[in-house]
Amino acid sequence: MKNLRTWAMSGALLFSLAAHGGETLDRVTHTGVMRNVLLNNYPPFGFIDDNNQLAGFDVDVARAVAERLGVRLELITPGWETIVSGRWQGRWDTCICSMTPNSERAKVLDFVTPYYSSPAVLVVHKDDNRIHGAADLTGKKVGTGIGSSYENYLHKSLVIPGAKPLEYPFGDVQVIPTDESMAFQNLALGPGKRLDAVVSDLATANDRIKKIPRFRVVAELYSEPNWVVTDKGDPQWDQKLTETVQSLRADGTLAKISQRWLGEDVTREQQ
């Protein structure tokens, strides 16, 4: 506990010395508030808990970043399409919200630093014996989060900067973009009733399986890096966030948050 306080005090002192940065850094410094956007329907990363409070992995990471900077955290849930469209115009400062970089998003947002990596997986109803991997998706109805990288993957248009090109071993798929919770609800009705499969994050799939044991993961599709994201135009703010995330990784804070929510450490820096 003493070590954590020391880190927080040091971070607050360094942060307070940033007298003049870019627009976002100046705003956060002067208001003492970091406004972070995330999803409230994406367990275990962001969701409304039994006390009607936002909770999850992304919530705790954002809180750790704010504490290390010595500012107060404010959480906002404006909706995924609003977040990824960019041009935030000062409404919020960061997106610690499980966003994967792609070429389209990079046109309007800055991908500052990775903070975890997790597999995208293919999920089917437990009684389904038709789908064993991505190659079996041709002609199938596949649900996924609207505006997600998984939707891009199913349309064969996902390009992750810095990663090798993805393989798409399937033909045309009937992509059903929707709220991710609704996708799993539809899949729970039975094989082929409304959906044949769902593409999601492994941790999210495991969380759903615990709550509704009608699903099973049949394949890992690709590794998905998730980055801290900002609006374009403030490299000083981006640098401050990069240094902060690196310090949280170095002292084990990110690993502890990951173990709490995911049961493993997905925050190790990728080689």
What secondary structure letter does DSSP report for 14?
H
pLDDT of residue 87: 94
Give pLDDT < 70 ranges for the chain. Answer: 1-21, 270-271
pLDDT of residue 270: 61
- Cis preceding linkage at 191, omega within 30: no
Is the pTM for the entire model greater than 0.85? no
Torsion of CA 228, 230, 234, 235, to 10 degrees: 20
pLDDT of residue 21: 65
| Cβ contact 140:173 at 8 Å | yes
The CATH class of the 23-117+225-262 domain is: alpha beta
Give the sign of the dihedral formed by CA 112, CA 116, CA 120, CA 124: negative
pLDDT of residue 149: 92
Decide whether 23-117+225-262 matches 118-224 in CATH topology.
yes
Domain boundaries, the chain: 23-117+225-262, 118-224
Domain 118-224 fold is D-Maltodextrin-Binding Protein; domain 2 (3.40.190)
